[in-house]
Copies of this chain bind each other. A is one copy, B any other.
Amino acid sequence: MIISMRPHATREEIDHVCERIREFGYKVHSIEGEERVVIGVVGIGDVTACLESLEATPGVERAMRISAPYKFVSKEFKKERTQVRVDGHEIGGEEFIVMAGPCSVESEQQIMETAEGVRKAGARILRGGAFKPRTSPYDFQGMELEGLKLLRKAKEATGLAIITEVMSDRDVELVAEYADIMQVGARNMQNFALLKSLGKCGRPILLKRGMSSTIKELLMSAEYLVAHGNSNVLLCERGIRTFETATRNTCDIAAVPVLNEMTHLPVILDPSHATGKRSLVPAVARAGVAIGADGMIVEVHPNPEKAVSDGAQSLTLDQFRNMMTQLKPYFDLWKQARVAELAAAGV
């Protein structure tokens, strides 16, 4: 941590800051510049408490963190890619994993038809919401338990693993009975009560980036999961909120390589929410494979205009199949690069 004092800080203020640093158990390295004093703080362990205290101390202009505030999720803690095993597949391994399905589970026919269709086209995991976070209290809120049961049926019929959202710590146990992957929605990325419960649920988690969350905050939320016992975490870029309205969100595609530099956890791209528009999904999916994401999660619906939610961004089964065909050579290039990388790492 670095403390930058105000240009005209008094000697007393500077001494007081140094004293406070020592009280927290850290060492002080003071640098006298032409204009101001800058103090380096050296020591082990989390400096957050010290940093917050010093920010509030007279004479201090700014307290800057140098080390990352997360630990277990960082590349420094673990260099090799984490591979999350789900029902025989390895996310973060040698296959680009495609998750697909409707926004909401709506009926047996709808989910069975979709499951069958996406499986044939190459998806490994079926998505479908049973508990739905909706902006309006008057919108469809999901089939809840019945939806979970339909997802199980679809799994039995197709062999696809299931990913579905959990919205409250009250529902964690219930959802964990049915889901192979527990999804945390963007609006719940900093629902810390939920994250704590999920730390103990025994299932892999797909953690969606909040729509105005920084990459560091995403990693801090992942750290919550790991610190509470669950290290099978998938990070998901699904677009952030900006001033641009041509797309539903702005796909922060560079978050994929940024995360690859910062963490060992797999990164999944959601081209459906990132764009909000069906016609843009295949192009963004291509970019996601090329840039080196570990997988993607895509909304597919047998009849989007009859969908109860997110129809505008859902591909039809035909469109999904075409996209998967078109992606084939990109998957091949992806695999080639990944196999080489893992071999080089001696894995």
Residue numbers of A with Cβ under 8 A of B are 2, 4, 7, 20, 29, 31-36, 38, 40, 42-44, 46, 48-49, 52-58, 64, 66-67, 69-70, 76, 133-141, 167-171, 187-188, 190-194, 210-212, 214-217, 220, 223-224, 227-228, 240-247, 250-258, 261, 274-275, 278-280, 283-284, 286-292, 304-312, 314, 329-330, 333
Contact = CB atoms under 8 A, between A and B. Distances in A.
A246 B284 CA distance: 21
5 contacts: A35-B76, A48-B136, A56-B312, A168-B194, A171-B193
Nearest to A2: B2
- The secondary structure that dominates the A interface is mixed
B246 A243 contact: no
Contacts of A7: 76
Interface centre among A34, A43, A55 (most CB of B within 10 A): A55
Given A193-B168, A307-B53, A40 B42 contact: no
A49 B291 contact: no
B188 A191 contact: yes
Contacts of A32: 42
Contact of A190 (B53, B168, B187): B187
A147 to B, nearest CB: 16
Contacts of A138: 46, 48, 69, 227
A241 B148 CA distance: 36
B31 A137 contact: no
B254 A252 contact: no
B247 A284 contact: no
A40 to B, nearest CB: 4
Contacts of A217: 135
Nearest to A249: B254
A138 B289 CA distance: 35
A64 B67 contact: no
A188 B169 CA distance: 13
B274 A254 contact: yes
Contacts of A188: 191
Contacts of A43: 34
Contacts of A287: 253, 287-288, 290-291
B242 A256 contact: no
Given A38-B40, A40-B31, A279-B261, A52 B307 contact: yes
A193 to B, nearest CB: 4
A220 B187 CA distance: 14
A133 B210 CA distance: 15
Contact of A136 (B211, B220, B280): B220
A291 B284 CA distance: 6
